[in-house]
Each structure stands twice: as C-alpha cells, then as structure tokens.
Amino acid sequence: MAADAEALLRLLQLERNAELAEVEAAQADLSHAELLRRGLGLPRLRVDGVSAGLYGRTLIELSAASGLALPPHSFSSGSIVSLRAGAARGTAAERASHGLDADAAAAGTPAPRAGAGIDATVYRVTDRSITLAADDCADDVEEGASAVLTLGASDVTYRRERDALARLRDPPAAAPLSLIHISEPTRRT
C-alpha cells in the first residue's frame, strides 16, 4: 500500500506542476480581452485602498479604472488570485478599443511597480469592487496604481489529497481501537 501511495503522490505532484504551468502561460500569453472573455482575469483595475487586516494580512481594494461596475467575472470569496501591475497587452486594436494606450502619467495615476505580482485570496466581492487579502505586501501596492487580476491555481485540493496520501503511505503505529469499537444501542426503559 505504501508503494501505491508513493506512486500516487508522484502523479499528484506532476498534475500540480502542469496546472501551475498552464495558469502561468495563460497569464503571460493571453491579451486582456481574452483573459476577460475566458473568465480568467479582470484587466483595467485601480487600487482604491490598502489597509491592514486580521492576522497581519494586507487588504487591497480594487475597482474598475472606469469607475463603473465591474464586468462579469468568475471571482468569488476564497478564490486564489494573482494581482499584477497593469500594462498594455494584446494587439493595438484591442488596446485602442479598451482605452489602454492612454499614458498612466497623463491620467494622474502612479506607475505600477514592476514585479512578479502578488498572490492573494479574494476576501469580498461586490458589483463595484473586489477586496483581496494578501500576506506581507503593503510596500508592493500603491493606491491609484493600475492592476490586472488573474485567477490562480488553487492549492487547497492538492494539499488535501497530498496529506491523505501521506497518511496512507505512513499509517500510525497503532490505530486506537476505541474509535472502531461497535456497541449495541442503549435501550430506554
């Protein structure tokens, strides 16, 4: 049984690596319009606020740069996301149709900081804003900066399956017999 669990752990890790590579490729290669169409991202967002949250987390509030309601999306509380600095991507026609060729400095917004992005969890979603909870990123986010939010690969299922397989591979020395003891039901008189 331990050999089977070990083989399944290796396969699970391969699947996780493939999922991460697929998400990274989509984030890097797809235009803003395509991310939005597939429900994988929300381009043209503005950082409205950065505040301290519970357990030392940073809460980042995002809204549409246009000030209107957010377009239809698949983000919900608990979604794993990646927040990246907003930058013009896609064809020139796509950028022009979405107003992405306008210079951020001319619009009075600070230039977003370069970097790999911030991994976070969606905390709250309304029709006009999305609030994220992230660890230790207060210095990486500026109010008023443009941003792109993309759906990340969730690791919750992966961790649960990995932990279950690890328990099968390395069972406890002696299972408590009191947990599996079956007794007759108590009769009331």
For residue 6, the model assigns a pLDDT of: 87
135 to 28, 58, 159: CA distances (angstroms): 23, 6, 19
Residue 171 banded pLDDT, cuts 50, 70, 90: confident
Backbone angles phi, psi at 156, to 5 degrees: -65, -50
Tell me the pLDDT tens digit for each residue of 97-155.
Answer: 444 334 333 333 333 333 457 889 999 999 999 999 998 776 778 889 999 898 887 77
Q: Which two tokens stand for residue 170?
A: 């390395």
Task: Name the H helices within 30-155.
Answer: 32-38, 92-97
pTM of the model: 0.64
13 to 19, 78, 151: CA distances (angstroms): 10, 23, 20
Q: What three-state secondary structure class fits 87?
A: coil
Picking from 136, 137, 33, 9, the residue whose alpha carbon sits closest to that of residue 84 is 137
74/92 Cα distance (integer angstroms): 26
Give Cβ neighbours of residue 129 (< 8 Å, ≥ 6 apart): 48, 61, 62, 63, 70
Tell me the pLDDT tens digit for each residue of 43-58.
Answer: 899 999 999 888 889 9
